[in-house]
Amino acid sequence: MRRRAASGVPMLPLPRIAICMFHLLFPDHVVRMHWTYDRGGWHTCRIMTFDRPKRTKRDLVDPDSAAAAVFVLSDRHSSLSGPWHRHRRLQLLHVSEGVLTVETETARFVIPPQRAVWIPPGRRHRIFSSAPFWLTTCYMDHDRVGFCPPTEIGVTIDRLTDALLVAVAAFAAQGPASPQEARKLQVLVDCLAELPAFDVVLPLPLGDRLRRLTRPLMIDPAHGAPLAELAREAGVTERTAARLFKAETGLSFGAWRLQLRLQSALGHLSEGRSVTETAFSVGYRDVSSFITAFKDHFGRTPSQMRLGRS
């Protein structure tokens, strides 16, 4: 049914014709119309275009039903907020550009470039990032390759493993591998089994009391309240809170807060924020102290991490 302007004059179909032509010429874009009315009652149409998310190999492959024992998917994302999910296969989530947050029910990982995290089979998790990143995921049938880390763990990716992941990403996830592909896959599995650990994990509280206590810090890592004040607001004593931190996270309160702040700093740096702005946003009053703590923990300065240097 044709729409009419307030004056009763039929609306010209030109916007619809223009949109049809745009779809034919630019199939990778989404077109939307926004209608307004001027004082004379005439329709005004503003046409807006958006990039259509392109389908990638990741969209076409079901990791849990693929025939290959080992396969790799690799693609770039402008941002991502994935739902909670799980896979029956062992996963390695590797970031070559940007920063990605991986969260399980018991821990949170912030993965900078050339780092990765193992996710055991059946472990619920979600991934998210507000900035662009390049994600490479290696899926492995642990029963067929004979290798499986017992829990989620962060690791460092060396240059050989990185090159193998890039090469294997071109292999098909369905069907048998060629002899040459099979040899590369076996070398990749051997390299992955020997990757050194990298401490990017923030153990999450398990009990309600500690979750209440840490909630203000999770919302704002710069929150500077001491443990005694946080414990009082959560309805527990300072001594009980300290004991709960050790029991549930394996860290003291001070070590846990430091880990939280440094993880948050990685996210800010990946969004392009300056080192000074990042330091203040995660609770440091002195930039040099922040740089020292960051380098001691990650082995690189904030500026190097911000530029994605290995």
pLDDT at 24: 59
Burial class (CB in 10 A: 0-12, 13-18, 19+), 35: exposed
Of all residues in the chain, the percent with pLDDT exceeding 90 is: 59
**Can you read off the two tokens belonging to residue 225?**
């309240």
pLDDT at 26: 53
Give the lowest-confidence range in 27-36, 180-189, 218-227, 290-299. Answer: 27-36
Confidence of residue 212 (pLDDT cuts 50, 70, 90): very high
pLDDT at 275 over 90: yes
Strands 80-81 and 90-97: unpaired
Digit-coded pLDDT (tens) for 94-124: 998 888 999 999 999 999 888 999 999 999 9
**Can you read off the two tokens belonging to residue 175?**
């069907």
pLDDT at 186: 94
pLDDT at 307: 63
Tokens 């067929």 label which residue?
Answer: 144
Q: Is the pTM of this model over 0.75?
A: no
With a CB cutoff of 8 Å and minimum separation 6, the contacts of 154 are 109, 111, 115, 116, 117, 197, 198, 199, 200, 201
DSSP 50-103: EEPPPP-HHHH--TTT-S-SEEEEEEEES-EEPPPB--SSEEEEEEEES-EEEE
Q: Which domains does the chain have, with CATH numbers?
A: 14-51 (no CATH), 57-192 (2.60.120.280), 205-306 (1.10.10.60)
pLDDT at 207: 93
